[in-house]
Amino acid sequence: MGSASSRDHLMKLLEPVVSAEGLDLEDITVTQAGKRRLLRVIVDRDGGVSLDHIADVSQAVSAALDDTDAMGQSAYTLEVSSPGVDRPLTEPRHWRRAARRLVKAEMRDGSVVEGRIMAADDDGVDLDVAGAARRLDYEDLARGRVQVEFRRIDDVDGDEG
């Protein structure tokens, strides 16, 4: 089984398992780590993922893999985590979950727009670009990335002076 078909097989196997835990399966990667393989399962949900969520879904995924031969007979390490800040924003739910964050949006025409996500729905995202509202439709977006901020807007809003 090739790596693409193996990944697809794992996605189909694990998506309902992760969904049953109230999470979205964002990605799966299998990489060689010495003599073992590393199976990395990336999960997320609205409101973020806690360590308890990670532990619960890790046990459920482990049980599902034990019940099948999806990983074959050779040893592997299972790692379940949430997406990092460097994850590209490619789905409407990614944009929605990044509300109030500063992002750099790459447009299909090659231009780049940087602004703060004010809202996102099924059709597009509303950004505050230098104090002006700008609507970007998903069909015009290639992808976006959250920009690392040392002092996020949430921190500024909570300051009294």
Q: The domain 2-81 is classified under which CATH number: 3.65.10.10, 3.90.230.10, 3.40.50.1820, 3.30.300.70?
A: 3.30.300.70
Q: What is the CATH number of domain 92-146?
A: 2.30.30.100
Task: State residue 155's pLDDT score.
Answer: 53
Give pLDDT tens digits for 30-63. Answer: 998 788 899 999 999 988 899 999 999 999 999 9
Contact (Cβ atoms closer than 8 angstroms) between residue 146 and residue 85: yes
Of 99, 114, 110, the C-alpha closest to 144 is 114
pTM of the model as a whole:
0.74
In the chain, the percentage of residues whose pLDDT exceeds 90 is 66
Domain boundaries, the chain: 2-81, 92-146
Task: State residue 18's pLDDT score.
Answer: 96
Alpha carbons 111 and 44: distance in angstroms, whole number? 29
Task: State residue 152's pLDDT score.
Answer: 58
Confidence of residue 149 (pLDDT cuts 50, 70, 90): confident
Lowest mean pLDDT among 72-81, 122-131, 134-143: 72-81
Of 140, 144, 135, 157, the C-alpha closest to 93 is 144
Lowest mean pLDDT among 15-24, 91-100, 114-123, 152-161: 152-161
Q: Say yes or no to pLDDT of 159 above 60.
A: no
